[in-house]
Amino acid sequence: MQTNLADFIKDTPEGKEADAILRSCVHCGFCTSTCPTYQVLGDELDGPRGRIYLIKQVLEGAEPTAKTQQHLDRCLTCRNCESTCPSGVQYGRLVDIGRSVVEKKVGRSAGDSLRRRLLHRGLLSKKAFAAALALGRAARPVLPASLKAKVQPRRAPGSWPTTQHVRTMLLLDNCVQDAMAPSIDAAAARVLHRAGITLKRVAAGGCCGALSHHLNEHDAAVARVRANIDAWWPLAEAGAEAIVVTASGCSVMVKDYGHFMQHDAVYAAKASRIAAIAKDVSEVIADAWVQLKPSLKPIRDALPAIAYHPPCTLQHGMKLRGGVEGILRDAGFALTPVADSHLCCGSAGTYSVLQSEISGELKHRKLGNLTAGKPAQIATANIGCMTHLQSGTELPVKHWIELLDERLAV
């Protein structure tokens, strides 16, 4: 694709990156066929190729409109298109640049800005979010069905291992997961303990920055990334092997710290080092499986069938495909076949709130495919997907690490 970027951006780092990405696109349209929003809306401008044309026009000087912004807002950033693209177009990075430029040029209505600001602050404040969630759980019996489905009862986390092993890894302190499902990190700590690894919480750490980044709160995202690097750096220097992340939506962000902070003179080198040692929990378990497998409990009765949903951030963002499924099968679980497993469930961080209609339709389609094989429960690898899917089904939806924890002897 030939480009002629406008003066306002062509010589900036973002402009140079966008130009290279645009030039790699060959207009083939393979991406459109696998785009969830195109499948729902049927509009070329609500697919990757159409959005690429819109971004190109804006970066070449055309004035964007609220309609331009709407088409970009409707993108899930699932990056399914990147898995499909034969030319390696880095669409996720391009749409981030495009959204940022359009946001500055078009702005938002007072109502939309307020909603985004409240969402941003509410989710980032662990105390406020935990208090709101506790209130919702207390009122759950009298809530309307639509709200009750979104406020799930708390699952007790269980014990956290106290043994200190020679091998130590650090845990990302997820911003909402600790309040919504503390059982996930506790299960990961117990599983890694059985592999001879101590999973260490770091009090000074916090949200990975993805929430701020995807809401175009760039300064807040940078501040969050710097705070995490500052919290982890001394421990990484002291010998911590990895930063373990149990939510794939956060894993993909931390792994991208090197790129995200590449122009920060103070933090660029540290960010690259942190990104290099960041691991999704599935990668750690795969490496430790030889040590873990002998600890599996004997199977006396057939284990309940599981439908597994691989989050987009895991299979498209990090290109980690088949690993979790292989571990679950090796642990004795039967996985039911799931059609269109490459497609997004519609959660996509705050997308389920900001684009609820499209998100709801995608959830409906995903649950139809997940339940077609008559599973006893659903497993996934991201807190957002887990809570989104649970709001639409009576079947239990769990993080796969919780299921593995249940299969291992104490």
Say whether both 253 and 272 belong to one domain. yes
Read off φ and ψ for residue 27, nearest 5 degrees: 65, 20
Does 189 lie in the same domain as 201? yes
Residues 34, 96, single domain; the answer is yes
| Dihedral sign for Cα atoms in the order 331, 335, 314, 359 | negative
Q: Does 226 map to a domain?
A: yes
276 and 331 belong to one structural domain:
no
The answer to whether residues 100 and 114 belong to one domain is: no
Q: What's the total number of domains in the chain? A: 4
Q: Is the pLDDT assigned to residue 139 strictly greater than 90?
A: no
Task: Give the span between the Cα atoms of 358 and 381, in whole angstroms.
Answer: 22
Element containing residue 198 per DSSP (H, E): strand 197-201
Amino acid at 289: W
Q: Yes or no: say if 165 and 239 are a contact pair by the CB < 8 Å rule.
A: no
383 and 317 inside one domain: yes
169 versus 156: which is more confidently predicted? 169
Residue 122's pLDDT is what?
87
CATH number of the domain to which 320 belongs: 3.40.50
Are residues 356 and 388 both part of a single domain?
A: yes
Domain that holds residue 81: 7-106
For residues 4 and 20, give the distance between their C-alpha atoms in angstroms, rounded to a whole number: 12
At 53, which CATH number? 1.10.1060.10
**Binning pLDDT at 50, 70 and 90, where does residue 142 land?**
confident
Domain assignment of residue 37, yes or no: yes
Check whether residue 190 and residue 270 sit in a common domain: yes
pLDDT tens-digit profile of 228-273? 999 999 999 999 999 999 999 999 999 999 999 999 999 999 999 9
| Separation of alpha carbons 312 and 325, rounded Å | 15
Shared domain check, 377 and 304: yes
Statement to judge: residues 268 and 333 lie in one domain: no
In the listed set 55, 81, 106, which residue is the last one of a domain according to the structure?
106
Asked if the structure places residue 262 within a domain, the reply is yes
Which is more confident, 150 or 406? 406
Whether 312 is in a domain gets the answer yes
pLDDT of amino acid 141? 82
d(CA 1, CA 59): 14
Q: Which tens digit of pLDDT belongs to each residue from 145-165?
A: 767 777 877 788 899 999 999
Domain assignment of residue 267, yes or no: yes
Claim to verify: residue 96 and residue 13 sit in the same structural domain: yes
**Same structural domain for residues 45 and 94?**
yes
Q: Among the three residues 121, 148, 175, which one is the final residue of a domain in this structure?
A: 148
CA–CA–CA angle 78, 318, 126 (5° rounding): 75
**What DSSP line would sit under 123-187, residue for residue?**
HH-HHHHHHHHHHHHHTGGGS-HHHHTTSPPPPP---------SEEEEE---TTHHHH-THHHHH
In a domain, 291, yes or no: no
Which residue from 263, 362, 353 is spatially nearest to 311, judged by alpha carbons?
362
Instruction: Please report whether residue 214 resides in a domain.
Output: yes
Indicate the residue among 106, 133, 159 that finishes a domain. Answer: 106
Helix axes 356-371, 383-390, angle to 10 degrees: 80
